[in-house]
Amino acid sequence: MSYALVALGAILASFSVACILLPNDAIDYGTAGIAIIISKLTDFKLSVCVFVVFLPFIIAGAFMLGKQFAIKAAFGSLVYTVGIDVFEEISFELNTEHFIAVAFGGAILGAGLALILRQGGCIDGSEIFANIVIKKISQRTGKDFSMTFILIAFNACVYTAAFFLINRNAALLSLLVYVVASAVIDHFTDHFEAIKQVTIITKDPAQLVKCIKDEMNKTCTIMDSYGAISGENKTLICYINYFELSKMKEIISRHKGTFSTVTTIDEILR
C-alpha cells in the first residue's frame, strides 16, 4: 500500500508538471525545476533531464539516509520520470487563465508530493540535499535544525536561474506554484521541513533507547512518569526530522506496550 501511494503521488505530480504547469509557462521547483530549465535550454527530452538530475541525489541519499529511504525515493522518481514521458505525449488543455491554471496545477503537485512524503518517500533532490546538510551540521554541532531555510535558499536559486535563463513570467508563475504546493504539503504533512518531537511512554526503555541509538544515531531524554492506570513509566523524548519519522515508527512498532505522540517543533533554544 505504501508503494502504491508513492506511485499515485508521483503520477499526480508528473501529470501536473507535464499537462498543466509547462503548457502554462510555469516550472516545478527543486531539482525538477533545474531539469526543466536544462531541457528548455538544450532541447533534450525532459524525462531524460529529470532522470540525470535526480540520480546523484538518490545515490547520495542511499549513503546518508539509508537503504529503505533510497529505495522509495528511487521508486517514486522512476514513476515520476515515466509519468513525465507519458503525459508529455497527451494533449491536455485547461481553457482558463494562466494564473488559475498554475494555481490548480500547484495544488495537484502539492497533493502528489504530500502523498509521497507521508509514506516516507521523496522525488525531489532538494529535500535530500537539505536533509544531508542538516545531518552533517547535526553531527558536527550536536544541534538539530529545520530544513526550511536550506529549501528556501535552494529554490530561490532555481527561480533566479529561471528569471534570467527562461523569462520573467515563467519565474513569477513558478513562484506561485511553490507557494500553493508548499501550502498543500504543509497542510497534509504538518510542516515536513520542521523538527519533529517524538514522545514515547514505555515501561521498558532500555531496548528502545538502544535501537534508536544504534539504528538512527539519535539520543533520548528519559524522564520518570506515572500513569493513573498503568502506574510507573518512563517517558522518552527524541528529536528527529520528517524523513526519519518512518524509521522511528518502525522501531516503536517492534516494542509493544508503548504509547507515542509526534509534535512539530518550530525552534529549539539552547
| 237 and 144 in a common domain | no
- Residue 260 β-bridge partners: 200
Q: Which long-range contacts (CB under 8 A, 24 or more apart) does 35-43 make?
A: 37/158, 37/161, 37/162, 37/165, 37/166, 40/165, 40/166, 41/165
Which of 189, 204, 237 terminates a domain? The answer is 189
Domain end position, chosen among 155, 189, 223: 189
Q: In angstroms, rounded to a whole number, what is the distance separating the alpha carbons of residues 219 and 239? A: 8
Residue 231 has pLDDT above 90, yes or no: no
Pairwise CA distance, residues 270 & 266, whole Å: 14
185 and 200 together in one domain: no
Q: Which residues contact 269 (CB under 8 A, 6 or more apart)?
A: none
Q: What is the CATH number of the domain that holds 260?
A: 3.30.70.120
Structural domain count, the chain: 2
Nearest partner of 125 among 184, 164, 70, 172, judged by Cα: 70
Query: Quick one: 179 and 233 in the same domain?
Result: no
Q: Are residues 182 and 238 in the same domain?
A: no
Residue 120, pLDDT > 90, answer: no
Please give the residue range of the domain that contains residue 240. 195-265
- 24 with 145, same domain: the answer is yes
pLDDT above 70 (res 144) = no
Q: Tell me, yes or no, whether 270 lies in a domain.
A: no
CB neighbour class for 72 (10 Å; exposed up to 12, middle 13-18, buried from 19) = buried
In 3D space, the residue among 266, 8, 255, 259 whose CA is nearest the CA of residue 123 turns out to be: 8
- DSSP β-bridge partners for residue 261: 199
Mean pLDDT value of segment 61-87: 84
Q: Which of 132, 165, 189 is the last residue of a domain?
A: 189
**One domain for residues 176 and 201:** no
Is the pTM above the cut of 0.95?
A: no
Q: Do 220 and 181 belong together in one domain?
A: no
Question: Residue 199's pLDDT is what?
Answer: 93
Q: Do both 93 and 210 map to the same domain?
A: no
